[in-house]
Amino acid sequence: MMDCKQALTEAKGNLEDAVVLLRKKGVSVAAKKATRVTSEGSVASYIHAGGKIGVLVEVNCESDFVARTEDFKELIHDIAMHITASDPKFVRKEDVTPEAFEREKEIYRAQAAATGKPPQVVEKIVAGKMEKFYEEVCLLEQPFIKDQTISISQLIAAKVGKLGENIAVRRFARFKVGDLGETIAVTKPADPKPEGE
């Protein structure tokens, strides 16, 4: 309540500007909490298109209390629905396999080189296309299907700001009737820190 009042004061009474300020604050709160351990959470499912596509997703948080809130349940339902519609292949950029990364990079490099542009321009084109690639295949980079102005990572950050706990998508599986392969994505564990850090 105090955050809302402070945002309205800071925005000089402009409601839209206050909402933007609150969303930015949610992102900064999320960044502070990103290193905290998420050992609780929930698994949600979403079945769509008359039972033709289904998703299971595990989203973690810090406490069982938050995992039982309506806000958290709404978040994991929205994420499951988004995965159903958008068919991401990985959770985060860091989870993209080196093989998939190099394959896409070589395709984009060949396409850019075929235009006859100088090598430094080709590399800039490739870098831009790789960012677009991440947006297409990484869940956290994709624009949220209900609000294309924010990404899934921004949606999660807003909930982190509201709920006060770190939230992380751990893994998901997407199945579609008739597809030979399913999509199964798991977040890679962080590299352990050397002793003494």
Mean pLDDT of 28-37: 52
Global confidence as pTM? 0.74
pLDDT (average), residues 16-20 = 73
Helical segments of 51-97, H only: 64-67, 70-86
Q: Return mean pLDDT, the chain.
A: 84
Asked if the model's pLDDT at residue 101 lies above 80, the reply is yes
Cα four-point dihedral sign 31, 33, 39, 41: negative
**Using CA atoms, how far apart are residues 17 and 15, in angstroms rounded to an integer?**
6
Confidence of residue 135 (pLDDT cuts 50, 70, 90): very high
64 CB contacts (<8 Å, ≥6 apart)?
Answer: 40
List the beta bridge partners of residue 168.
60
The count of residues in the chain is 197
* Residues 6+ positions from 94 with CB-CB distance below 8 Å: 188
Ramachandran bin of 196, using left for φ above 0, alpha for ψ from -120 to 50, beta for the remaining angles: left
CA terminus-to-terminus distance, the chain: 38
pLDDT interval class at 194 (50, 70, 90)? very low
Residue 87 pLDDT class (50, 70, 90 cuts) = very high
Q: Which of 4, 39, 38 is nearest to 18 (CA)?
A: 4
Decide: 55 and 172 in contact? Cβ < 8 Å.
yes
pLDDT for the residue 68: 94
Q: Is the per-residue pLDDT at 165 higher than 70?
A: yes
